[in-house]
A and B are shown apart, each in its own frame.
Chain A
Amino acid sequence: MLKIIKNKMEQGCKTSTYPKEPIALYHRYRGMPIINQDCNNDIVKQCAAICPQDAIDTADKTIDLGRCSFCGQCETIGDGAFVHFSEDFGIGAATRSDLITGGTLPALADHSKQHFKKLFGRSLQLRQVSAGGCNSCEADTNVLTTPFFDLARFGIDFVASPRHADGIHVTGPISKNMRQALMDTYNAVPSPKVVIASGCCSISGGPFHGSDEVVGDLGSLLPVDLYIPGCPPHPLTTLHALLQYFK
């Protein structure tokens, strides 16, 4: 007992003050890309050639955040001339096309479905389905329940049964071997329900795009309401997206 009290004193309260106060991530973190539209075409082509995810469109000078794994190679190779990844972690989007960006994203809060805000704004219960995910998306979703992020204080929880859920949160490129289980889980959630695609795998197949063992795109199976890009999305990206979209 004494040890518990001693440890509690030492640990103190570690819960983040976000979103009341802004939170700064370390400058090496790669969030929302800042794109230089005036960049020399040769550099853009060089960046596109090295991009392992083929996420860069050289004609429009855009990056598809749904494909991007945020490895940062395009920033290194062009020395930041074309793209620089900022520390802005708020990169969730309501439509797939919003993720193909020239450097800006529409404000997520304005694009969410209003009836979702009304239905789920005070209480949102999600069923997480890992469908071929590498476990980093899952792990960084799980940390939202740790004391630092403390997701439950916003009325958002991950639940064990799809019957208790308001929607599903899907990670992974949807391996063929998980397709049926994913659909079963979705069907077991009562309507109206939310579908969230988390991580570049569930949005575009991510690192596994092109593999014939994966479906590669959640949108081809289910109507996706909220996209959370990243490889994996930073916990704050997920938190930001959930708060903006549902609150």
Chain B
Amino acid sequence: MDNLLKIQNGIAVSRASIPELPYDQFFTTLSEFVRNDGFIVQFFAYKDESSHKLLAVLRNSELYVVGTKVGSSFQSLTRNVSEKFHMFEREIAEQFGIKPDGHPWLKMVRYHQNYSGQSDVFGNDYSHEIPGNYPYFKVEGDAIHEVAVGPVHAGIIEPGHFRFQCAGEEVLHLEIQLGYQHRGVEKMLPTVAQKRYPIICESIAGDTSIGHNLCMCQAVEALAGLSVDRGARIVRTIALELERICNHIGDLGALSGDVAFNPPAAYFGRIRGEFLNLLQVLSGNRFGKGLVRPGGTTHVMGEEQRHLLREKLTEITPEIEHVCDLLFTAHTVQARFEYTGTVAHERAKDLGLVGYAGRACNLPYDARVSFPCECYGELPANTNFVTNGDVNSRATVRREEIMHSLQLICLLIEKHEQLESAESAVHMQDHELIPDSFVVTINEGWRGEISHCLITDTKGKVQRYKIKDPSFHNWTGLAMSLRNQEISDFPLCNKSFNLSYCGFDL
């Protein structure tokens, strides 16, 4: 631990203060940390002058950062220490052509040319545009068959490829290949004008517009020394909770539809819309786009908006309780939810699952509690009671979170009312950032821990912008949940995780 620099969520530190260890020491430090119940928030490469460096942001009950310098390869931590490094190391290989030696499953993450012009680690020819161009893991035998799904799926959803290895109806292995949504967000951000930042960050994952954009704004606020008034903090917290509620409600409805129980699917589908409309009341957009900006919010919450929010919550809370009761007490639903798609606690911990997917496996980590920002320090935490790791647990955790978030919003509206109306709206403008600095921001988005890292150069320009959506941790969890399940349970398992394709693909 002596080798690590303790940092705080959303507080900038100078780059010089980040310990840069020789790789073998970096390796042992990370190994020890992860073996002692530590988790990885970010682990990425960046180019600094002529060399490449790695940076790891770690968490237990505190946040830490540590760095190292690497050449064209480094010894893989995935092979020797923990699966938690698995996806991060593949990403480093893909983005910078730096090879993690001994990585047990070195394949591309998103299928794109690396940023550094090094020769491609995977030997891909990127003049072919298909990311599915990869030898999938195969199970062989007489009774084995393979099912390939996607990238274009049957419903109105994002693209991704799923390859099932099955024996009859039983799935032995599911391999998920993404990258179809890759838009080059990380590569693009340091090259574009700051005025584009919020628009791009709101579109990293449209269902997490508030979460991702809040991460960006907090990072810019830290690097530009901006203060945010209390009224705006409350509005931002309410917006993040509204985002959580509408997604959870939509997913509970979809889960209900997936087990062919239509009434809750219809009711929740409509109720979700009510919450999107509340975001529209706050921001003018159903996904909260255009609301959060560095320094505050573009719209203030006046008496009119408070009133509309309060009225709607009073009207709709009992409806949600009733529809939840209808869904969770139906025997046909219970029969399908329980013991389906189970991810054992130990496995979830090995993989480092976050958000409701983690909490449903009894990993109680919630960034709102561990690293509180905005108004979360003064709000009550949530507790989950069903944590068996199956679809039922993930659904129940979401139900509990909906009720908890409704309670938080009511508390926040009251707090807001006691405020003097000294608040004022902000708009996007270019901010000068502190040079040679590093900041990490963490928010508990509805799917889990979202994190953005910014590194500025000697002139205060953004040198590296690193984004991590919670889906980056959790997709492997979905693949694991399908092991030895019937293939017909895939839609149910998939919806219970409901991970982001574009948040992962960036």
Contact = CB atoms under 8 A, between A and B. Distances in A.
Interface of A: 3-4, 6-8, 10-11, 14, 25-26, 28-30, 50-53, 69-73, 76-77, 85, 128-143, 145-148, 158, 160-161, 172-173, 175-181, 184-185, 201, 206-208, 210-214, 231-232, 234
7 closest Cβ pairs, A-B complex: A136-B206, A213-B184, A134-B206, A160-B154, A146-B269, A28-B284, A134-B203
A210 B187 CA distance: 11
B181 A207 contact: no
Interface string B127-143: 00111000000000000
A237 to B, nearest CB: 11
B16 interface: no
Given A4-B326, A26-B280, A76-B425, A137 B298 contact: no
Given A70-B290, A71-B290, A140-B276, 7 more contacts: A3-B329, A25-B280, A52-B196, A76-B298, A132-B183, A158-B156, A211-B187
A72 B280 contact: no
A142 B184 contact: no
A141 to B, nearest CB: 5
B490 interface: no
Contacts of B283: 28
Interface residues of B, number: 75
Contact of A231 (B183, B270, B289, B429): B289
Given A175-B182, A175-B183, A69 B289 contact: yes
Interface of B: 110-112, 129-131, 151-152, 154-159, 179-185, 187-188, 192-193, 195-196, 198-200, 202-207, 209, 250, 263-264, 266-267, 269-270, 272-273, 276-277, 280-287, 289-290, 298-299, 319, 322-323, 325-326, 329-330, 425, 427-429, 500-502, 505
9 contacts: A7-B267, A30-B285, A132-B180, A133-B502, A134-B203, A140-B287, A147-B269, A148-B273, A176-B129
Given A133-B502, A178-B151, A207 B427 contact: no
B177 to A, nearest CB: 11
A142 B156 contact: yes
Q: In terms of DSSP, what is the predominant structure of the interface of chain A? A: mixed
Contacts of A30: 284-285, 290
A146 B281 contact: no
B122 to A, nearest CB: 14
A171 B198 CA distance: 20
A7 B261 CA distance: 13
Nearest to B197: A52
Contacts of A210: 188, 192
A137 B287 CA distance: 10
Contacts of B209: 134, 136
